[in-house]
Amino acid sequence: MANSIKVRAKAKDGIVTVKALMSHPMETGLRKNSKTGKKIPAHYIKEVIAKVGGNTVMEVFWGTAVSKNPYLSFKYSGGEGDELTMSWVDNQGDSGTASVKVK
């Protein structure tokens, strides 16, 4: 999915604050299509990883309880100029990746 993650990362006093917005439908598999009455298949992000210099600074495993277009914020020890790469994989094999320099 193109442009599926918008990421911002700012450093202050050795702590980097990351804010990310992911574009994804996040379907639970429990909702029904109002026109056909058939269930909409489950389609959700199952793993999100953030790496800096090859080191994992954040890893999260999600399920169906996360809302559409999820927002994620976290902090880690780091500095200005680092390159942060975030990626996600969903239960249907789709994925998204974005990289940003820490300001």
Domain presence at residue 94: yes
- Distance, CA of 69 to CA of 86 (rounded, Å): 15
- For 2-28, what is the mean pLDDT? 94
- Could you tell me the pTM of the whole model? 0.90
The domain containing residue 92 runs over which residues?
A: 5-26+39-101
Domain presence at residue 89: yes
Domain presence at residue 80: yes
Domain presence at residue 33: no
**How many independent structural domains does the chain possess?**
1
pLDDT in tens, 22-65: 999 999 999 999 999 999 999 999 999 999 999 999 999 999 99
pLDDT in tens, 61-83: 999 999 999 999 999 998 899 99
Give, in order, the Cα–Cα distances in Å from 94 to each of 17, 43, 44, 89. 27, 9, 10, 6
pLDDT in tens, 80-95: 999 999 999 999 999 9
pLDDT at 45: 97
pLDDT at 1: 58
Domain presence at residue 63: yes
Query: What's the CATH code of the domain at 64?
Result: 2.60.40.10
Domain presence at residue 31: no
